[in-house]
Amino acid sequence: MEYNPNWIAVDWGTSNLRAWVMDAQNRPQHALESARGMGTLEPDQFEAALMALIDPYLPIGLVTEVLCCGMVGARQGWAEAAYVAVPAAPPTAKTALRVPTSDPRISVSIIPGMMQKSPADVMRGEETQILGVLHDDPEFDGVICLPGTHTKWAHISAGEVVSFRTFMTGETFALLSTRSVLRHSMAETDWDIRAFEDGLSTGLTDPKRVAANLFSLRATGLVDEASNLNAYSTLSGLLIGLELGGAKPYWLGQQVLIVGSGHQSEIYRHALVKQGADAKILSGDHITRLGLSQARA
């Protein structure tokens, strides 16, 4: 069989499976997506979940390379791709884990995640986005912030990930706003930047008040029905403020690149600029594809 120059880039997280059919110049020809994230699959279901998405795009009589990053490489994933310890350059296809498949038309491998011994931390998927940033700017020296369910902050220097730290802010916000008593106060309202900034300031400058202020978000509406407190925006500010306080060594006086999209990335940028940090946003999807392409270079 002849090797096909076209390949498939895969970002396989806990909740979603996303794939791009790439041409020989690393340009995405098709964007594919399913809800068959790692969290929904047993190890023997991964190949079928992938094939359900990409089968129509596989050429006949050729082997197509499929390069994956993300939680697909976790112990509970398709196959465990051991972590690379920082400080180190982000791993590439050279150290990726080859995964046997029953379908002979694909050759699948998974890029390892990275880990840090102390403070203990791990990432899977973000290392490939960092590689994408370095492809764009090989001399990048500074901090990359990757907002998400678990936001990562990574210090990058001389082409290596020097250190990184994970904050569960997104997951905590989702739990408190949809599952706790605070859900009763999360009316569908417009985003209120002033309320966000108030919460942010409290969380960042007086973090011990965060626990005290949470229940007030509920009680304010009970005590004063005329209150126009925007509990949703305030809660977001309190939690991101607490995160920025803990992540201060990462962003203080640094050039920060935010890799992501939409509202969440915008509010991180707003919060950082408010603290005098230099922050700009790069599209997460674009950077993921760049990273997977760079991993094959």
- Interface with a copy of itself (CB under 8 A): 83, 115-117, 119-122, 150, 165-169, 171-172, 175-176, 179-182, 207-216, 219-220, 222-224, 227, 239, 242-243, 245-248
Torsion angles phi and psi, residue 166, rounded to 5 = -110, 140
CB 286 within 8 A of CB 26: no
Name the residue type at position 95. Answer: T
Q: How far is the CB of 120 from a copy of itself (least distance, A)?
A: 4
Closest CA to 130 of 149, 153, 98: 153
Q: How far is the CB of 255 from a copy of itself (least distance, A)?
A: 21
Our CB check for a copy of itself shows the closer of 60 and 120 to be 120
Our CB check for a copy of itself shows the closer of 21 and 74 to be 74
Distance CA 105, CA 163 (A): 39
- Consecutive H or E run containing 131: helix 126-136
Distance CA 270, CA 233 (A): 13
Our CB check for a copy of itself shows the closer of 51 and 122 to be 122
Q: How far is the CB of 89 from a copy of itself (least distance, A)?
A: 19
Q: How far is the CB of 117 from a copy of itself (least distance, A)?
A: 6
Token representation of residue 219: 């009680």
Q: How far is the CB of 6 from a copy of itself (least distance, A)?
A: 35
Our CB check for a copy of itself shows the closer of 134 and 242 to be 242
DSSP letter, residue 56: G
Our CB check for a copy of itself shows the closer of 54 and 72 to be 72
